Amino acid sequence: MTDFIEIAKRAKQASLAIASLSENIKNIALIAMADAIENEKEKIFEANKVDLEFARPLVESGELSKATFNRLKLDENKMRDMIAGIREIAQLPEPINKKLLVRELDKDLTLYKVSCPIGVLGIVFEARPDVISQISSLAIKSSNAVILKGGKETTNTNKKVLEIINGALNKIEEFPKDVVQQVFSRDDVGEMLKCDKYINLIIPRGGNSLVKFVKENTKIPVLGHADGICHIFVDESADLVTAEKIIIDAKTQYPSACNSVETLLIHENFDKKDELLAALQLEEIKLIDNPESWAHEYGDKILAFKTVKNLDEAISHINQYGSGHTDCIITKNTENAEEFMNKVDSAGVYFNVSTRFADGFRYGFGAEVGISTNKTHARGPVGLEGLTIYKYKLIGNGQIVSDYVEGREHFHHKDLK
């Protein structure tokens, strides 16, 4: 049986060691990871085939959804993005020890606010074999240690990917041990959620039930989103061709993704409604005009739609039923677009662009640890910045508080940055 506390202790020690690791060594480690995955990708594909064969009967029996099965599959495109993501992260600016504020409180008394790692990350994810490389590389670049727990559907793939990653890291003498660790059992999840002495942040990546379970069973801060109820609003001035192109991409490019559109709102004065709906049906999108719930994530080529009277009704509908993930307006009216983006309370608000752009790699973050609908610390696709916090450094020359309280010295609070 896994001794999770021992794993967590090692992760804590690793987090303290990597916190002061140089940018150069971290980048060498990332390039080594990318090279190793590229050189041994056929072994990863073979492991993934085993997982897929195990999962197929589960889909047929209804134990595993088709959407989850699609996420499980690792193809050449995903592999290419995995490797490119690691290399891009290596090229990103160093996120640690950035001076966020420099304030001279008094002569020879200067306050610095500097970025620093969070510490130990606990990641619980479902059926996404590319998650390990994404999160491992982001954790290394941001000087965090990480404990990963993947779904049982991806056990073989996860083991092989991490074996290759740690094989590459172990060859770098200066790189600390145990920065990236993995656990496998359901019991390990329970232990992880109780381990607030060693783990600083939990990030669940999966469906609503997983995120809800994690949030209800831990005292550790949780970063993530429960649902991906994304909307597109077609305003009365929208261009038909633009609307068709965006909606089709947002629904069909990867229907099981959390940033796939689930609800289409159409202005009652948009005079191309019938043509638009017909075009969507030609793409084999199933349209539902009276769903049981407006807050349902289909994860398939199914799209709920509704006619609304105006922009205000569209915004109200999204704020009532949306999940705060990503929502879009299609319009030629820039004032309406600005009002939509200001009033819709979501992590991503878009104007004439597919919701599928809500992604750390596409934002230039290299990769993401997930998408957050939280309103504290990090929101939207979470990359390096979301894996850092900050500390205050105060540098003086023998100053004491009594001198300031009793009026012998005075603050002048001069910002230097």
Contact 285, 301 (CB under 8 A): yes
4-223+369-391 with 230-357: one CATH topology?
no
Q: Hunting for tokens 């023998």 — which residue is that?
A: 398
d(CA 159, CA 132): 10
Contact 268, 312 (CB under 8 A): no
In the CATH hierarchy, which fold is given to the domain comprising 230-357? Aldehyde Dehydrogenase; Chain A, domain 2 (3.40.309)
- Domains of the chain, by residue range, sit at 4-223+369-391, 230-357
Total residues found in the chain within this entry: 417
Question: In this structure, what are the phi and psi dihedrals at residue 278, rounded to the nearest 5 degrees?
Answer: -65, -40
Question: In this structure, what are the phi and psi dihedrals at residue 156, rounded to the nearest 5 degrees?
Answer: -65, -45
Contact 70, 127 (CB under 8 A): no
Q: pTM of the entire structure? A: 0.86
Domain 4-223+369-391 architecture: 3-Layer(aba) Sandwich (3.40)
d(CA 248, CA 251): 5
**Tens-digit pLDDT profile for the chain (417 aa)?**
579 999 999 999 999 999 999 999 999 999 999 999 999 999 999 999 999 999 999 888 988 888 788 888 999 999 998 999 899 999 999 999 999 999 999 999 999 999 999 999 999 998 888 889 999 999 999 999 999 999 888 999 999 999 999 999 999 999 999 999 999 998 999 999 999 999 999 999 877 788 889 999 999 999 987 789 999 999 999 999 999 999 999 999 999 889 999 999 999 999 999 999 999 999 999 999 999 999 999 989 999 999 999 999 999 999 999 999 999 999 999 999 999 999 999 999 999 999 999 998 899 887 888 889 888 788 999 999 999 999 999 999 999 999 999 999 999 999 997
Q: Would strands 145-149 and 120-125 be described as parallel, antiparallel, or unpaired?
A: parallel
* Burial class of residue 125 (count of CB atoms within 10 Å of its CB; 0-12, 13-18, 19+): buried
Query: Which has the closest alpha carbon to 12: 147, 114, 174, 148?
Result: 147
